Structure 1
Amino acid sequence: MTVSPVVPTTKYTPPPRGWYKRNEIAITPWLFLAPGVFFFVVYVIAPIWQSFGLSLYDWNGLGDVTVNGEYVGLENYNKLFGLNGERADRNFNISLWNNFKWLVLYLLAIPGGLFIALFLNQTVRGIRVYKSLFFFPFVISQVVVGLVFSWFYLPNDGLFSIMTGWFGIDIRGGVLGNPTWATYGIIAAGLWPQTAYCMILYLTGLNAVDPEQVEAARLDGAKGWKMLWFVIIPQLKPATFIAFVVTIIGALRSFDLVSIMTGGGPFGSTRVLSYYVFEKSLSERGLQYGYAAAVAVILFLIMLVFISYFLWSMYQDEKGAR
């Protein structure tokens, strides 16, 4: 009988891993994000930074800003707000106040979209036709909306003038020709497609409402407004969040309807900050790119306040859900 030799056993040692393999889980998501981050920095962050720099110059847009422009520091901001003995820019104040009107009244699109969505969420005959009619304003161009409402507001032949005439109401110069009412007429035109957009968001949110919670609330005697306020609306929080963000940003950057319907008139009463930037830079009365950049910076900072708040709220919600 022969005894086989004992083979010494050695513990297997895996080859050393490289730096990427050791950090693969942490690095891989950033590799997927890298193209988006690159384009975001080039096409969003860089222009914002350039606008900040340009707002410190007096430049007419011809040639290089550092060669043909004059560095004036914060002088453009002093002219806007009337600091250091400068006279405040009346057109800027009007534009800022009109943006505030847009911001407040545009929020009516959110409850309007909610109630239309609640109506369209029913199972009644012909509901698809109603959905198509309410969805229609969202898919047409803002230019078309502006033209349609311009005809609607015509002083003598417009449908709005005819309808107000039935009640003995006469708006001098028509809605768009009256400095008092022109801004409100444009906001009403903007609310039409914006309400349709909020309606779409809420229709999507209503599909995700938990039917078991609704049934449990019915068994507890909840109905009508109590059902809506305590059961339905809390489950629509994600849709409401998106509706607020989109509506506020849309109100602050309103430009196309003002340009199409009034061109900032009558007498500059319907200007908003975005249209004032266009007037000071690209219009025939403009070529004040440094001053226009200062107005754009103010508009950006206003937007940044709301965007930061919404991002912080979203971060807190996600943090609380962990």
Structure 2
Amino acid sequence: MTRAALPAASAEMPPRSRWRTHQRRLAPWLFLAPGLAMFAVYVVSPIFQSMWISLYDWDGLGEKVWIGAANYAELMDDDAFYTSLWNNVLWLVLYMLSVPAGLMMAIFLNQTIRGMRLYKSMFFFPFVISQVVVGLIFSWFYAPDFGLLYQLIEWLTGTGVAILADDRYVTYGIIAAGLWPQIAYVMILYLTGLNNVATDQIEAARLDGAKGWRMLWHVVLPQLRPATFIAVVVTVIGALRSFDLVSVMTDGGPYGSSRVLSFYMYEQALSEYGYRMGYGAAIAVVLFAIMMIFISGFIWKMWRDERER
């Protein structure tokens, strides 16, 4: 009878012993719980609320009026929306220049030469200053009459160009301003990645005669995949949520030609021109969908590459 009773006694484990058994499995979730709760309340919930609001005609204060997909149907005939969307495409394509530019700067600054800390501080400086300050600096840089770029173009061609007042060049001028701190950010990511590159693989490649571009492409870049993934993701997000510089430098002008989706969303939902919360939410949903398509694609590619290794 004693032997038969043993399994039953062991099955009825006291709560304290059960907690100790599962403590290692439960502890990470307990540490993650506050962060997950904050993420659910302040990120996930507003996303679904925006989707819900986009189905209403609402000024933010009065009563909501259900209109279904009418806001999205209106977007399809809105020229300002297509202008904003096209400008976001330009931002996305040209912002990707920050990834190779940041990599080249990181490789240059990864050398052990005298005064390199000073050079690193100078290249790091654009990242630590506010986007508003960046916008003001470049507004003065482009300014007619006294702007350095304006005077340089006038000296070379005889006629100055007011970058921010010309609808042909304004978006490119704002993107150039945004690239300045973005390149510095990508450079920092790659500098961190270069510190983790295996030196034994570098030495082995040198013994095999690899150098220059062959060394970079076949030895260094494969080890920088995590840094490249993060750099691409933050660059895509930065390009699609480009609001600060547009607001500071042009306020969407001239004639709305420099609008992007995030600025147009603000203009429709919160500025004196709109107070159309439902329409602004519809623009936000479209922007979120575009962002998720790109980020999901990058995550899927990285997951597939990890499985193939």
CA distance in 2, matches of 1:239, 1:9: 59
Q: CA RMSD in A?
A: 2.1
User: 1:97 aligns to what?
Assistant: 86
Tell me which of 300, 304, 308 is aligned to 1:316: 304
Q: Which has the larger radius of gyration?
A: 1
Point out the structure with the larger helix share: 2
**Alpha-carbon distance in structure 2 between the residues aligned to 1:130 and 1:26:** 46
Q: Which residue of 2 aligns with 1:254?
A: 242
Aligned equivalents of 1:224, 1:140: Cα separation in 2:
34
Pair 89,10 (structure 1): closer, same or farther in 2 beyond 3 Å: closer
- The 2-side partners of 1:269 and 1:181 are apart by 10
Number of aligned residue pairs: give it: 303
| Counterpart Cα distance in 2 of 1:121 and 1:108 | 20
Partner of 1:272: 260
What CA distance in whole angstroms lies between the structure 1 residues aligned with 2:92 and 2:160? 25
CA distances 1:113-155 after superposition (whole Å, capped 9, x unpaired)? 0111111111222111111100000000000000000000001
The 5-angstrom pairing of residues 81-230 of structure 1 reads: 81=76, 88-168=77-157, 170-172=159-161, 174-230=162-218
**Which whole-Å deviations, capped at 9, do the CAs of 1:208-239 have from their partners, x for residues lacking one?**
11111111111111111111111111111111
8 Å contact kept, 1:171–1:178: no
Report the CA distance between 1:170 and its aligned residue. 3.3
> Which sections of structure 1, spanning at least 5 residues, go unmatched?
1-7, 82-87
Name the amino acid aligned to 2:157.
G
Q: Distance in 1 between matches of 2:54 and 2:147?
A: 43
Deviation at 1:29, TM superposition (A): 2.9
Q: Which residue of 1 aligns with 2:13?
A: 17
Question: What residue in structure 1 maps to residue 69 of structure 2?
Answer: 74
Q: Is the 8 A contact 1:58 1:288 kept in 2?
A: yes
Structure 2 residue matching 1:176: 3-state secondary structure: helix
**Cα distance change of structure 1 residues 148 and 243 upon mapping to structure 2, 3 Å threshold:** same
TM-score normalised by structure 1 residue count: 0.89
Q: For 2:135 and 2:85, how far apart are their aligned partners in 1?
A: 22
Aligned-pair CA distance for 1:177:
0.5
Aligned to 2:59: 60
* Corresponding letter in the other structure for 2:69: L
Which residue does 2:44 correspond to in 1?
45
Q: CA deviation at 1:193?
A: 0.3
Amino acid in the other structure paired with 1:16: E
The 2-side partners of 1:170 and 1:141 are apart by: 32
Q: d(CA) in 2 for partners of 1:258 and 1:200?
A: 25
- By how many angstroms is 1:15 displaced? 6.6
Gapped runs of 5+ residues in structure 2?
A: none
> Which deviates more, 124-133 or 149-158?
124-133
1:294 aligned residue: 282
